[in-house]
Amino acid sequence: MAHTLGIGVIGMGWMGAVHSRAYGQIPDRFSDLDIATRLVVCSDDVEARAKSGANRFGFDRCVTDWKKVIEDPDVDLVTIAAPNHLHLEMAQAAAGAGKHIFCEKPVGLGPDQTVEIEHAARKAGVLTMVGYNYRWAPLVQYARQLIEQGQLGQITHYRGRFLVGYGSDPRSVLSWRFQREQAGLGTLGDLMSHAIDMAHLIAGPIQSTVANSKTFIAQRPLATPGEGTHFSVADSGPMGDVTNEDYVGALTRFENGAQGTLEACRIVNGPKCEMAFEVNGTKGALSWNFERMNELELFLPQDNPEHDGHTTIFAGPNHPFFAQFYPGPATSLSYDDLKVIEACQFAQSIVNKRQAEPGFAEALAVACVQRAMQNSWNSQSWEQVVSLRQN
């Protein structure tokens, strides 16, 4: 008999829609798990967007008060896809109500709020998940397997980056992501959080860092509430100040001795969605780029001079999760497919009553690195990554 999970989604913008669509696909893509999902209620403070989301994805009903999502007795898990400044109150309320929580990154407005959210969920005993979706690409999972098996030897170098241009046009609207009071951190929260989590997944914990930041575009056209996304542009209208950072760069030292660099930017021209990493070890190397997410560059010469070069590996059914989507290799998965895998991992963890990764513990680990990077901005020197976990 199928396990049926009642779903509540808070925030029906682009990300709320992606999550809603993903939950609906779990019974189809992962039919062997015998998990059924029921879209119970969605919420958005813009009524038209709440109604549209309910109609599009088949929610039983919609509301404009997010508290009603958490109060609904038919809701087992709550997805928080609202602006960052609302995460703390929503997550604490969900934990207090005993609801399992999926929260988009960054979990808190900044590291301090992430600490509070992780603590609240842990004390309440609810299961959690965070939207570090790039880690679910089949070839990223395969890369992790190769490293864990020792195929690359000891990791010596890691270079991670998330370079996008959604804010490269000065006419890009002043969405909440550009405002400290609503987003908290800028690129450090929005993009670097992904790069840090990926570094933790692939190369292990970061021990220390030295970092810098910069805001390149100081003002942007005001956004129209309830309309568009952070990709929207406006040719005219009143302007507002950008109050968080466009760029973050860092040198890193890993606990295992590897040396690394991390870089993230939202206004760079050229890259479109370059969430990428390169890893070098004593026996080989590999690299992956989300812009070509279904390809992995692998270097494993194995002392054979005829094999001394990179090989391109195409994603296929032999790699994790791929067979749930396609039976043959080199058929491309998409961003939305990664969110389906992610949603299924959370649903399965609830059915199995065990915490999966990445949960709030992994988000807290990212926050600890973010705090060290912030400290480095002020000290202009190397900073240790220290635990912020509350007892």
Q: What does the domain layout of the chain look like in residue ranges?
A: 3-133, 138-331
Average pLDDT over residues 238-247: 95
The tokens describing 135, both together, are: 């880690």
Per-residue pLDDT at 1: 61
pLDDT at 5: 98
Instruction: Find the mean pLDDT for residues 283-288.
Output: 97
Residue 306 has pLDDT above 90, yes or no: no
Question: pLDDT category, 155, cuts 50, 70, 90?
Answer: very high
Query: Does 3.40.50.720 match the CATH number of domain 3-133?
Result: yes
Write out pLDDT tens, residues 322-331: 999 999 999 9
pLDDT band at 271, cuts 50/70/90?
A: very high
Residue 231 has pLDDT above 90, yes or no: no
pLDDT band for position 333 (50/70/90)?
A: very high
| Cα gap 101→107, rounded to integer Å | 11
Between the alpha carbon of residue 70 and those of residues 7, 52, 73, 98, 217, the distances in Å are 10, 20, 8, 9, 38
State mean pLDDT over 16-43: 97
Judge whether residue 144 has pLDDT over 70: yes
Structure tokens at 45: 């403070």
CB 316 within 8 A of CB 329: yes
Cβ-Cβ contacts under 8 Å for 334 (sequence gap 6 or more): none
Contact call for residues 61 and 7 (beta carbons, < 8 A): no
Tokens representing residue 98 in the block: 């005993």
**Do residues 347 and 333 lie in contact, with contact meaning Cβ atoms separated by under 8 Å?**
no
Query: What mean pLDDT do residues 365-383 have?
Result: 98
pLDDT confidence band for 148 (50 / 70 / 90): very high
DSSP 8-state symbol, 69: H
Which class is 138-331 in CATH? Answer: alpha beta
Q: For residue 227, name the pLDDT band (cuts at 50, 70, 90).
A: confident
Cβ atoms of residues 77 and 70 within 8 Å: no
pLDDT category at 338 given cuts 50, 70, 90 is very high
Instruction: Assess contact for 355 and 128: CB atoms under 8 A.
Output: yes
pLDDT single digits (tens) 86-141 = 999 999 999 999 999 999 999 999 999 999 999 999 999 999 999 999 999 999 99
Own/partner pairs for 232-240, CB < 8 Å, 24+ apart? 232/172, 232/173, 232/175, 233/169, 233/171, 233/172, 233/173, 234/171, 234/173, 235/171, 239/174, 240/174, 240/179
Q: What whole-number distance in Å separates Cα of residue 216 and Cα of residue 139? A: 34
What's the confidence (pLDDT) of residue 182? Answer: 86
For the beta sheet containing 247-254, the strands, ordered from the edge strand earlier in sequence to the opposite edge, are 311-314, 295-299, 285-289, 273-281, 155-164, 259-265, 247-254, 206-214, 383-384
User: Does 235 score more than 90 pLDDT?
Assistant: no
Q: Is the pLDDT of residue 228 over 90?
A: no
Look up the pTM and report it. Answer: 0.95
**Residue 54, pLDDT above cutoff 90:** yes
Range list of β-strands (E), 99-203: 100-103, 128-130, 155-164
Burial class from Cβ neighbours inside 10 Å (0-12, 13-18, 19+) for residue 308 reads exposed
Q: What integer pLDDT is reported at residue 304 of this predicted model?
A: 75
Q: What is the pLDDT of residue 63?
A: 98
54 sits in the region (left: phi over 0; alpha: psi -120 to 50; else beta) called alpha
Judged against a pLDDT cut of 90, whether residue 159 lies above it is answered with yes
What percent of the chain stands above pLDDT 90?
90
Average pLDDT of every residue of the chain: 95
Taking alpha carbons only, the member of 63, 83, 84, 89 closest to residue 75 is: 63
State how far the Cα of 10 lies from the Cα of 230, in Å rounded to an integer: 18
CB 338, CB 321: distance < 8 Å: no
The pLDDT of residue 225 is 74
**Does 232 have pLDDT greater than 90?**
no
DSSP structural state of residue 98: T
